[in-house]
A and B are shown apart, each in its own frame.
Chain A
């Protein structure tokens, strides 16, 4: 039984003299390869040229600030709960007096860490966040790591840098960037 009409039977016969001489076939082959010599190359020279990313690309996380330069995150922990890879940990803290320019609400994340080896970049944290604080960037990828301690991203590398322009009116905001803690140095501080 045949499924398609595309089967073809190869007629077998003696080779012609030209085919047996082998050289015409080699010349034909040389013609084919030289055509490829002038063809457009498939290579993308990575650091200089980059493939365009998809509009829904999910890259490295960022913790956003609001329009006044305050951190939006309130350490509610919904992202950590939503995370299927359990990559997110955080320690909440209460906002002190005089820190109103740093944190938007009374509660904030003193430590916020994402383990980039565990993260699968699914974007569920972004969906879970009620404060629109965490986003996966469209244009930045998580880099390769050379050391194990580079893997865990703390607030120093996650929080959006203070924009110098739009917030320049707010006095002293640049100096007041919070000294971010990691799990380890928080431990040290608490032991003291």
Chain B
């Protein structure tokens, strides 16, 4: 086989692997969600299907497939079908540009563990995230149902509002790294120089926006049962509904992966050079490098899995926001904060103060504590009369 053939073969395997793992993790997220919900509420969660309930996702899928495939008579049939397809498509496409690992050495050439390396990776992801709104919007509109439409409108306006703050929070990262390529950004965080240390505020803004973009609690207003029945997927049944729910979990996986890449160093971990050298000296240049890359992939996946767990953890902690609170938070809190973050980042670059943003956060925390102690704790006193 020529070098080029080997390259494409390995690349195809990597793409297949990324695709399969994305689907697998999304599948088991549905189980993990219910397990985590159970554990946080002092229950056990589903444990009947197989040991610890590991066949539960299969059982759910079978159930979904056997349900009635219902299309409302007044619905726009093509768009009704296109909605969930689009949601699924955009969700799956995003993991193509995420660097899952350093590089494998096969047949004397280094092959990146990444679907495709493009120098505007982060823009590509943002484009797909904005496209994801269409899946929800088309589905809600095509259902020809007031509640679905309202849910879809909510989802669209929420996603557009939080995309702004998300984009602004990323700009600070881009200013620091000077590149749009996700691989470049990951490589710059070599070892323990993770972006979260220099961009804590940006990270918090990004995190909150990621919750809103994934339509997760506390921002799951598009499917607010008490107000909108099921929201945009009220009229959906069978696997079309399954696609919408599944797309949500894939989005969760992708946003955890992006978060890990942008702020938690992607496949980098403290002491990676020592591990790399030890493996190379023990097993030779090629095997050593490949194994070190594999370790990096595992590290990235553990970060991603923790991210997904965090999504679930928050879901069972924080109740849903009201719609005006959601909009106030997005426009009046997060966007100004993101702007402020850009300014402080600019100052830190201009005057070469590397951890200015972290210092600002520490200062804010100190102010909070001092102000809190001056006002005094909220107290209850016995009634005297």
Binding site for B on A (CB under 8 A): 2, 5, 7-11, 13-14, 16-19, 21, 23-24, 26, 29-30, 32-34, 36-37, 39-43, 45
In the complex, what residues of A have CB within 8 A of residue B36's CB? 37
Q: Are B383 and A8 in contact (CB under 8 A)?
A: yes
**9 pairs of residues in contact across A and B, judged by CB atoms under 8 Å:** A10-B380, A13-B375, A13-B378, A18-B368, A19-B372, A32-B317, A37-B36, A41-B38, A43-B44
Q: Are A42 and B375 in contact (CB under 8 A)?
A: no
In the complex, what residues of A have CB within 8 A of residue B318's CB? 26, 29
Closest A residue to B41 by beta carbon equals A36
Q: Are A39 and B367 in contact (CB under 8 A)?
A: no
Closest A residue to B47 by beta carbon equals A45
**Interface membership of B40, Cβ < 8 A:** yes
In the complex, what residues of B have CB within 8 A of residue A16's CB? 368, 371-372, 375
The answer, among A9, A13, A24, for a CB contact under 8 Å with B381, is A9
Q: Are B313 and A34 in contact (CB under 8 A)?
A: yes
| Shortest Cβ distance from residue B343 to the other chain A in the assembled complex, whole angstroms | 19
**Interface membership of B282, Cβ < 8 A:** no
Query: 7 closest Cβ contacts across the A-B interface?
Result: A18-B368, A16-B372, A8-B380, A43-B44, A7-B383, A33-B317, A29-B317
**Interface membership of B271, Cβ < 8 A:** no
Known: A17-B371, A26-B318. A43 touches B381 (CB 8 A): no
| Shortest Cβ distance from residue B154 to the other chain A in the assembled complex, whole angstroms | 22
Give the distance in Å from the alpha carbon of A96 to the alpha carbon of B47 in the complex.
Answer: 56
| Shortest Cβ distance from residue B151 to the other chain A in the assembled complex, whole angstroms | 25
Q: Are A18 and B380 in contact (CB under 8 A)?
A: no
Give the distance in Å from the alpha carbon of A7 to the alpha carbon of B385 in the complex.
Answer: 11
| Shortest Cβ distance from residue A50 to the other chain B in the assembled complex, whole angstroms | 16
**Interface membership of B61, Cβ < 8 A:** no
**Interface membership of B369, Cβ < 8 A:** yes
Binding site for A on B (CB under 8 A): 36, 38-44, 47, 204, 313-314, 316-318, 367-369, 371-372, 375, 378-383
In the complex, what residues of A have CB within 8 A of residue B47's CB? 45
In the complex, what residues of A have CB within 8 A of residue B44's CB? 41, 43, 45
| Shortest Cβ distance from residue B267 to the other chain A in the assembled complex, whole angstroms | 27
In the complex, what residues of B have CB within 8 A of residue A24's CB? 368
Q: Are B382 and A8 in contact (CB under 8 A)?
A: yes
In the complex, what residues of B have CB within 8 A of residue A36's CB? 39-42
Q: Are A37 and B39 in contact (CB under 8 A)?
A: yes
Known: A11-B381, A33-B313. A39 touches B371 (CB 8 A): no
The answer, among A21, A23, A41, for a CB contact under 8 Å with B43, is A41
Q: Are B367 and A17 in contact (CB under 8 A)?
A: yes
Give the distance in Å from the alpha carbon of A36 to the alpha carbon of B44 in the complex.
Answer: 12
Closest B residue to A23 by beta carbon equals B204
Q: Are A30 and B317 in contact (CB under 8 A)?
A: yes
In the complex, what residues of A have CB within 8 A of residue B41's CB? 36
In the complex, what residues of B have CB within 8 A of residue A10's CB? 378, 380
Give the distance in Å from the alpha carbon of A7 to the alpha carbon of B383 in the complex.
Answer: 6
In the complex, what residues of B have CB within 8 A of residue A7's CB? 382-383
Q: Are B378 and A30 in contact (CB under 8 A)?
A: no
In the complex, what residues of A have CB within 8 A of residue B382's CB? 5, 7-9
In the complex, what residues of A have CB within 8 A of residue B367's CB? 17
Give the distance in Å from the alpha carbon of A9 to the alpha carbon of B383 in the complex.
Answer: 6
In the complex, what residues of B have CB within 8 A of residue A19's CB? 372
Give the distance in Å from the alpha carbon of A2 to the alpha carbon of B384 in the complex.
Answer: 10
Known: A29-B318, A33-B316. A2 touches B383 (CB 8 A): yes
Known: A8-B380, A42-B42. A17 touches B372 (CB 8 A): yes
Q: Are A9 and B368 in contact (CB under 8 A)?
A: no
In the complex, what residues of A have CB within 8 A of residue B39's CB? 36-37, 41
Q: A11-B378, A41-B44 are in contact. List 4 more A-B contacts (CB 8 A).
A: A2-B383, A8-B383, A17-B372, A29-B318
In the complex, what residues of A have CB within 8 A of residue B38's CB? 41, 43
Give the distance in Å from the alpha carbon of A178 to the alpha carbon of B266 in the complex.
Answer: 77
In the complex, what residues of B have CB within 8 A of residue A13's CB? 375, 378
Q: Are B317 and A26 in contact (CB under 8 A)?
A: yes
Closest B residue to A12 by beta carbon equals B378
In the complex, what residues of A have CB within 8 A of residue B313's CB? 30, 33-34
Give the distance in Å from the alpha carbon of A191 to the alpha carbon of B374 in the complex.
Answer: 97
In the complex, what residues of A have CB within 8 A of residue B317's CB? 26, 29-30, 32-33
